[in-house]
Amino acid sequence: MNKPSSLSLAVLGIGMMGLPIAQRLCAAGHRVQVWNRTRAKAEPLSTAGAIVHEKAADAVRNADIVLSLLENGPVVADVLFQQGAAAAMHPGSLFIDMASIQPREARDHALRLQAQGIACLDAPVSGGTVGAEAGTLAIMVGGVAADFVRAQPVFAALGRATHVGPHGTGQLTKLANQMIVGITIGAVAEALLLAAKGGADMAKVREAISGGFADSRILQLHGQRMVEQDFAPRGRVNVQLKDMRNALATADELGFEAPITALLKQLYTQTAEHGWADLDQSALFLELARRNGLAK
């Protein structure tokens, strides 16, 4: 039996983030329709109460709110405007794009959807699969304030949402987040490898600087992965690289120079080129280790 406050929702894109997000929405009592290009990845959600569809258009047809967790901006545009999802959504519905895309793409999608009477928020997230599973995601939202208020029952099941400005600024905030994450992973990896090169125990170095000014979630989580050589994917190198490229493209549009991001983009590119694209983003450590003769 559904809760009185339940909404009719659709989730497009059932991957590493889409799966736990859809599970949490089902657990919150919402009526959830789901679609994924590879249907098998969405099938486990049927046991949580979701209805799995063959086509994105069928999943969104009766939804009050549609959430997108697709791969990138061109894929979002294709699903919305080529595969018929936008045409199938009813006027007055709300599209929440939680994918990480370029701000200009988010603004373009919002304009096209608004022309069809569909409201839109860009709402990328930070916190990874751990945050998605726990409902502790940081959600960065761009769009109209009234639409942000309307989305609160959805955001409440997923984490902490902050309205940062008009369309596109949610994506801009996510790029800022990913710049900090990517750059800090590089700083932690380089520092730990320098310590190892000089004969120190990386695990003890990490322990020694914890709690000081150099401490951070990156040092705690990614630093531990580096110490343990555990690069099982949570957030992948190729996704981090995509975000760095998007950040630089946006900086170029704004006439903003971002030399630190540019350097890290090169390092993540080389990490991917050496076969580590599908590993956790902390695998940047492997590229820096290779350069310094410390690779195992």
Query: In Å, how far are 95, 180, 196, 212, 215 from 209, measured between CA atoms?
Result: 44, 19, 15, 6, 7
Diameter of the chain by CA atoms? 64
CA neighbor of 230 nearest in space, from 193, 282, 176 = 282
Residue 272, C-beta contacts closer than 8 angstroms, at least 6 positions apart: 237, 238, 241
Segments in the chain forming alpha helices (H): 18-27, 39-42, 56-60, 73-77, 85-88, 103-114, 128-134, 145-150, 152-156, 169-197, 202-209, 217, 223-228, 237-254, 259-271, 284-291
The separation between the first and the last C-alpha atoms of the chain, rounded to the nearest angstrom, is 55
Report d(CA 29, CA 32) in Å as an integer: 9
Residue 4, C-beta contacts closer than 8 angstroms, at least 6 positions apart: none
Report d(CA 287, CA 274) in Å as an integer: 8
Catalytic residue among 3, 41, 55, 174: 174
Report d(CA 182, CA 119) in Å as an integer: 32
Per-residue DSSP letter, 276: I
CA neighbor of 260 nearest in space, from 192, 193, 179, 191 = 179
Q: Which residues of 97-106 are buried (b: 16+ CB within 10 A; e: fewer)?
A: bbbbbbbbbb
β-strand partners of 138: 126, 160
265 is catalytic: no
Token code pair at residue 211: 């709690």
Active site residues: 174
